[in-house]
Amino acid sequence: MKTEIQNRRDRKMPDSTIEHIYNSALTAANYVGMESGLHILNQAFVNLPDIRDEKIEQLKKEFAK
């Protein structure tokens, strides 16, 4: 059981999934507020801090335009 959980954590998320999550966060940020977009990214990438930080910076830059 423990090995199965670890294997799931070690898998790389597909790029299309990452982009879908980012686009959802961007939409939420535009319609609801920046906090909503950040919440989506934080929850989706909780085990992938590198991707999370990259997408948060990307969202902040896009939202600032």
Q: Is the pLDDT of residue 63 over 70?
A: yes
Domain that holds residue 19: 2-64
Q: Is the pLDDT of residue 16 over 90?
A: yes
pLDDT in tens, 22-60: 999 999 999 999 999 999 999 999 999 999 999 999 999
Which residue, 28, 54, 51, 47, is CA-closest to 39?
28
Q: Is the pLDDT of residue 12 over 90?
A: no
Q: Is the pLDDT of residue 1 over 60?
A: no
Q: Is the pLDDT of residue 4 over 70?
A: no
Which residue, 14, 60, 7, 18, is CA-closest to 37?
60
Which pTM does this prediction carry? 0.80
Give the count of domains, the chain.
1
